[in-house]
Amino acid sequence: MSIPTGIGKTAAVVLAWAYKRAMGDSQTPRRLVYCLPMRVLVEQTAKVAASWFSSLEEAGLIAVVPGIHVLMGGELDNSWDINPDQDALIIGTQDQLLSRALNRGYGMSRFRWPVHFALLNNDCLWVLDEVQLMGIGLTTSAQLQAFRDKLGTLLPVSSLWMSATLNPTWLRTVDFAMRADNLTSLELSEGDRRTEQVARRFQAAKPLERAELDPLDNNAVAELVLKAHRPGTRTLVIKNTVKQAQELYECLAKAKLDANLVLLHSRYRPRDRTAALERLLAEPKEAGTICVSTQVVEAGVDVSSSTLISDLAPWASMVQRFGRCNRDGTLDDARVCWLKPDLSKKKATAPYEPEGLRDSMVMLEGLRDVGPQNLPSFTAGAVEGQTIRKKDLVDLFDTTPDLAGSDIDISRYIRETADLDLQVFWRDLPEESDLQDQDAPSREELCSVPVQDLAAMREKGLAFWAWDHLEAAWVRPGNLHPGMTVMLPARGGGYSRELGWTGDKKHIPEVLPTLSAKPDSDKGDSTAETVWQSLADHTNAVVRELEAILEAVTPEALAWEGVLLAAARWHDAGKAHEVYQGAMTAEAESPDIETTWAKRGGGRIIYKRNGFRHELASALAMLEEGLPDLAAYLAAAHHGKVRLSIRSLPHEDRPEEPDRRFARGIWDGDRLPQADLGGNVRLSPMEMDLSYMELGQGPKGASWTGRMLELRDDPTLGPFRLAMLEALLRVADWRGSRREG
């Protein structure tokens, strides 16, 4: 969809999707995944979508309001995935959405990655908006659609790419090239262009001039801004880097203006960013509003200025910036001014390549007005970067970290290497020995920070910590990588509510309230239930939930209904293990010592064997019973901790016998007693056989890994279908636990 800025692309897509879902159109996916390049756009899109849905509900046009879910990081910002059978508008940045679609979700529990991988690659309409700002992320989005087409999905997935400056050749990636040439193209018709509102926007006057000053001299730029600003109007100044925007803002602040002075960029905590955006969008008062912003305002933010002053940027970005001046065409005194840089200075061109700026400069030199009808067409070349291939995607299905605890780095498929961020939060930290009491961060605490900035602060002596899921501890991280979440000591500074992230130790941030929730880990299990549940009762509840989900979600899943229900019936059979039953009654009095328990009344469950995973025992029991490999996989994977491989971990307790196999708290030869699994199914007494963890053929046939890779690579399954089946069982387990609890 290539439609000029300000015409209403977002409303057209969101409302069309809502209409089709309300009308029961089975061809329209349940999930509308709205992907944006910057987080400031996410919050505004969510706000306007909520107002549209509210109006539709009040008018009686929709009976059920779709859920609106914002994905911007934070350990507990993932509640949307428990309802895959309900309509949902999922809005997020390319970092959050593409990382989850690649099974390496930024800012979330690694054990929940496979569920989001499944739900974002099945039953979705992906809408990628403002693609001219996405860089290599655009290439990845096209490749993902190609992989879905080739590998198959349980439920259909489509993609829609949108921009006012969309070049179709951007989508001619190595695996999507053939489809890219045959995509449906949506543009304004001649009739659309003749309507009053559209015509007025196309004919909007935006006189252009060039300022004769150095864009890096922010004192001079501040003088220009003060002279250009008119009381009662909005002046928008767009700088190319956060540091330049902060410096200009501070220069303007020294003038002690009566005007409302706003700074807006991507490196704020959510509360401060929202406050800045609200001040920008507020109707200018008598003295007017002056906003200094970075690229975050050039797309998706529905704001119009009377005066626009901008650093030079690539042409597609300049067109978007022009759209933030006299947006509705009602002003007759609008003006646009651009700042010409010295392209021989690297600092003057950051973060762009000089070639793109040079092309843009040539275009601007020949223009006197930059209203839509005066803008020449210009097609930028394809994005250069590392393209993800099918093998890479298939390898990412396995979420097991390497022996050092590291994962495949996907950042090169999300953004260019010069634009990589991680997230930080601040705490009043005691001595390091007491750090383990720190809670998981809430979304409100998180701030996006360049990886290189934090690395520089570490070199200057700042200590910080990241959560190690395997060790269940806050540790000093080795390599810093995009998407990770880091805890900083508040005394180390680095953040100002007014300026956002600065990295300056004199800026001591306010410590925000916490969630009172512990980070997820591979040690122990937490339970939110308040009642005891027997293994049979819990299993029956999960089976009922799965049956309801299958009926609601898709007839396509019915081909696997039998194996799914078998997996649900056996998924917790391993809880009959004496390690699990001992942990259940260790700190709580059992109401019946003869019952095999699945859940107890609250608290964290600590096992006498570190790393014990009941789901591995379940899967081994299923193999012994001759159940299908797929059923065993689904049972093993229902917590996201045992999937394609079985291996012991460094923190595990070892058996005394040196040659005895052990993995995930299960020891070769462990006895599993009989147990009632509900539905007239009983677990027979048996010994655990860990020969499956060996590579190659063993006494029981193929190894666990060999069997699971065969499932993943089976053309009738493939990674997307397999992940969706995995997600359906996990959701049924969550919902069964929630309802029974």
Residue 418: band (very low, low, confident or very high) from pLDDT cuts 50, 70, 90: low
CA separation for the pair 284, 281 (Å, rounded): 8
Q: Which of 89-98, 405-414, 419-428 has the highest mean pLDDT?
A: 89-98
Compute the mean pLDDT over every residue in the chain, rounded to the nearest whole number: 90
Model confidence pLDDT, tens digit, residues 296-352? 888 767 899 999 999 999 998 899 899 999 998 999 999 999 999 999 888 889 998
Model confidence pLDDT, tens digit, residues 478-488? 889 888 899 99
Asked if pLDDT for residue 363 goes beyond 60, the answer is: yes
Asked if pLDDT for residue 661 goes beyond 70, the answer is: yes
The predicted pLDDT at position 384 comes to 73
- Characterize 426-445 residue by residue with b for buried, 16 or more Cβ atoms within 10 angstroms of its Cβ, and e for exposed: bbebeeeeebeebebbbbbb
- The predicted model gives 375-403 an average pLDDT of 84
β-bridge partners, 235: 290, 307
**High-pLDDT (> 70) share of the chain, %:** 93
Cα-to-chain-centroid distance, residue 366 = 41
Model confidence pLDDT, tens digit, residues 105-149? 988 888 999 999 999 999 999 999 989 889 899 999 999 999 999
Q: Report the range of poorest mean pLDDT among 8-12, 87-91, 311-315, 555-559.
A: 555-559
Residue 333 CB coordination number (10 Å): 11
Does the fold of domain 204-370 match that of domain 9-194?
yes
Closest to 522 (Cα-Cα) out of 584, 609, 585: 609
Residue 527 and residue 521 in contact, taking contact as beta carbons nearer than 8 Å? no
- The predicted model gives 42-48 an average pLDDT of 87
Residue 405: band (very low, low, confident or very high) from pLDDT cuts 50, 70, 90: low
The predicted pLDDT at position 76 comes to 45
Question: Among positive and negative, which fits the CA dihedral 349, 352, 353, 357?
Answer: negative
DSSP 199-227: HHHHT---BEEEE-S-TT-HHHHHHHHHH
Model confidence pLDDT, tens digit, residues 492-540? 999 999 999 999 999 999 999 887 677 766 555 655 556 789 999 999 9
Residue 45 and residue 36 in contact, taking contact as beta carbons nearer than 8 Å? yes
Q: What is the number of helices (H) and of strands (E) in the chain? A: 23, 30
CA separation for the pair 541, 739 (Å, rounded): 8
- The predicted model gives 449-473 an average pLDDT of 89
Model confidence pLDDT, tens digit, residues 529-548? 567 899 999 999 999 999 99
Asked if pLDDT for residue 404 goes beyond 80, the answer is: no
CATH code: domain 9-194 is: 3.40.50
The predicted pLDDT at position 523 comes to 55
Q: Report the range of poorest mean pLDDT among 403-417, 447-461, 630-644.
A: 403-417
704 torsion bin: left (phi>0), alpha (psi -120 to 50), beta (else): alpha
- The predicted model gives 704-730 an average pLDDT of 97
Residue 228 and residue 252 in contact, taking contact as beta carbons nearer than 8 Å? no
Closest to 616 (Cα-Cα) out of 595, 596, 645, 655: 645
The predicted pLDDT at position 538 comes to 96
Asked if pLDDT for residue 196 goes beyond 80, the answer is: yes
Cβ neighbors of 50 (< 8 A, separation 6 or more) are 68
Residue 417: band (very low, low, confident or very high) from pLDDT cuts 50, 70, 90: low
SS3 657: coil
Cβ neighbors of 13 (< 8 A, separation 6 or more) are 1, 32, 34, 127, 160, 162
The predicted pLDDT at position 479 comes to 86
Q: Using the 8-state DSSP alphabet, how is residue 229 labeled?
A: -
- The predicted model gives 469-484 an average pLDDT of 85
Ranges of each domain in the chain: 9-194, 204-370, 420-521, 525-740
Residue 433: band (very low, low, confident or very high) from pLDDT cuts 50, 70, 90: low
Asked if pLDDT for residue 624 goes beyond 90, the answer is: yes
Q: Which of 374-388, 458-472, 480-494, 528-542 has the highest mean pLDDT?
A: 480-494
Would you state the structure tokens that stand for residue 655, as one six-digit string?
């058996």
CA separation for the pair 677, 687 (Å, rounded): 18
Flag whether the pTM goes above 0.85: yes
β-bridge partners, 448: 423
The predicted pLDDT at position 650 comes to 80
Asked if pLDDT for residue 593 goes beyond 90, the answer is: no
Residue 618 and residue 573 in contact, taking contact as beta carbons nearer than 8 Å? yes
CA separation for the pair 615, 623 (Å, rounded): 13
Cβ neighbors of 445 (< 8 A, separation 6 or more) are 74, 269, 425, 426, 512, 514
Q: Which of 32-41, 145-154, 419-428 has the highest mean pLDDT?
A: 145-154
Asked if pLDDT for residue 579 goes beyond 90, the answer is: yes
CATH code: domain 204-370 is: 3.40.50.300
| Relative orientation angle of helices 270-281 and 39-58, to the nearest 10 degrees | 70
* Residue of 167 and 622 predicted with greater confidence: 622
Residue 34 and residue 129 in contact, taking contact as beta carbons nearer than 8 Å? yes
Asked if pLDDT for residue 75 goes beyond 50, the answer is: no
Would you state the structure tokens that stand for residue 537, as one six-digit string?
């009762």
Model confidence pLDDT, tens digit, residues 672-695? 999 999 999 999 999 999 999 998
Closest to 297 (Cα-Cα) out of 308, 306, 286: 308
Peptide bond connecting 673 to the previous residue in cis, omega within 30 degrees of 0: no
CA separation for the pair 654, 633 (Å, rounded): 25
Q: Which uninterrupted H or E stretch holds 630?
A: helix 629-636
